[in-house]
Amino acid sequence: MASCNFLWFILMVASVSTVAHAKLSPNYYSSTCPKALSIVNAAVIEAIKNETRIGASLLRLHFHDCFVNGCDGSILLDDNATFVGEKTAAPNNNSVRGFNVVDDIKSKVEKACPGVVSCADILAIAARDSTVFLGGPSWTVRLGRRDSPTASRSAANTSIPPPTSNLSALVSSFSAQGLSLKDMVALSGSHTIGLARCTSFRGRIYNDSNIDATFAKSLQSRCPTSGNNDKLARLDAATPTHFDNCYYRNLLSGKGLLHSDQELFNGSSSDFLVKRYTSNPSTFFQDFAKAMVKMGNITPLTGSKGEIRVNCRKVN
């Protein structure tokens, strides 16, 4: 079996083209801002070349946006006089990042097409482009989302599953968004890239029994029982900057970094999917791409709902 270090090189890139949703369309900006996708793509690539980690950060922004009242760009809003936003919610505080990159992309798009392209759509495109640039699959991004005029820290606290979640909690959280067990396991594969904070995996490396002992010990040296909360570790220690299926292989050997990661392979209903994606990377790519399209279609604001923000951080 090919090692994870080389699997990314031989993977087929899965391209998913689906029938456009009645309100979202891949061609939404073809006449109003024909260069929108190329502008976003160039800015994403520039940002990742500057800091590889930002690719995972942009992908995570889209996920955390969509899980809170739909894919509406609400995660980007700063607090104001009328609401407390999502940035300081428990799953996001001192954790989600990439806001400056989104600002840069938005300013470039605004220069080309003022008041046309939503922040929510920028997140959706950037998530796809980040995945592709780091070696993952491509998919057709449906566009036409509008931006929410509000945000909710309380909704973020209850809608985004924490890294301490067990399998049933994960299934419930994803099911509430219309996503299946297969969608959940496939989307969790995004943890093949990126980093996590000590505070997110401390409980796992000291308390869990289904963890490789050597792996746990290696992490304990940088993440003590108290302190060093912001110390980082790779979600996928094998190929942390390549989007591949090594995340699942790690789970088979008890090397999932987060408790919620290892829950996917812990003698229960999702084990077969972890094994499938370990042995068949092209199937993982196909299922991930399909799940991203599905997630990107969670209750978007369209038509006259919402707005097109000029500045992604604040309501017009």
Query: Which pLDDT belongs to residue 90?
Result: 95
Per-residue pLDDT tens over the stretch 275-315: 999 999 999 999 999 999 999 999 999 999 999 999 999 99
Residues 134 and 179 in one domain: no
Angle at 258 (CA atoms; ends 252, 264), nearest 5 degrees: 45
Domain identity same for 265 and 199: yes
59 and 154 in a single domain? The answer is yes
Whether 27 is in a domain gets the answer no
Whether residue 200 is contained in a domain is answered as yes
Confidence of residue 10 (pLDDT cuts 50, 70, 90): very low
- Which has the higher per-residue pLDDT, 2 or 306? 306
175 and 147 in a common domain: no
CATH number, domain with residue 113: 1.10.520.10
pLDDT of residue 87: 97
The dihedral region occupied by 227, where left means phi > 0, alpha psi between -120 and 50, and beta the remainder, is left
| CB under 8 A, 24+ apart: contacts of 164-169 | 164/203, 164/259, 164/260, 165/259, 165/260, 165/263, 166/259, 166/260, 166/263, 167/263, 167/264, 167/266, 167/268, 167/269, 167/270
pLDDT number for residue 13? 39
pLDDT tens per residue, range 225-235 = 999 999 999 99
Tell me: do 126 and 203 sit in the same domain. Answer: no
Residues 26-53: what's their mean pLDDT?
A: 98
Picking from 160, 194, 220, the residue at the C-terminal end of a domain is 160
Q: Look at residue 15 and tell me whether its pLDDT is greater than 60.
A: no
Note whether 274 and 197 are same-domain residues.
yes
- Is 70 annotated in a binding site? The answer is yes
Q: Give residue for tokens 């976003």.
A: 40
Residues serving a catalytic function are 64
Instruction: Confirm whether residue 18 is marked as ligand binding.
Output: no
One domain for residues 182 and 141? no
Please indicate if the annotation marks 86 as binding a ligand. yes
Q: Say whether 208 counts as a known binding-site residue.
A: no
Total domains in the chain come to 2
Any binding-site annotation on 173? no
**pLDDT-based confidence at 4, cuts 50/70/90?**
low
pLDDT of the residue at 23: 85
- Domain shared by 156 and 40, yes or no: yes
In-domain check, residue 119: yes
Spatial CA neighbour of 127 closest among 174, 206, 73: 73
Same domain, 199 and 144: no
278/186 Cα distance (integer angstroms): 11
Residue-wise pLDDT tens digits, 64-84: 999 999 999 999 999 999 999
Q: pLDDT tier at 3 (50, 70, 90 boundaries)?
A: low
Residue 45 structural domain: 35-160
Query: Distances in Å between the alpha carbon of 26 and those of 21, 30, 159, 176, 270?
Result: 9, 9, 27, 26, 32
Regarding whether 105 and 43 lie in a shared domain, the answer is yes
Q: Among residues 64, 62, 81, 110, which one has the least CA distance to residue 293? A: 62
Domain boundary among 141, 160, 179: 160
Q: Give the CB-side neighbour count of residue 54, counting CA atoms within 13 A.
A: 17
Note the pLDDT of residue 22: 44
181/147 same-domain check: no
CB contact burial 99-126 (16+ within 10 A = b; e otherwise): bebbeebbebbbeeeeeebbbbbbbbbb
pLDDT digits (tens, 9 = 90+) for 111-122: 999 999 999 999
Residues 143 and 203 occupy one common structural domain: no
pLDDT at 237 over 60: yes
Q: Is residue 308 part of a domain?
A: no
Q: What is the mean pLDDT of residues 239-248?
A: 97
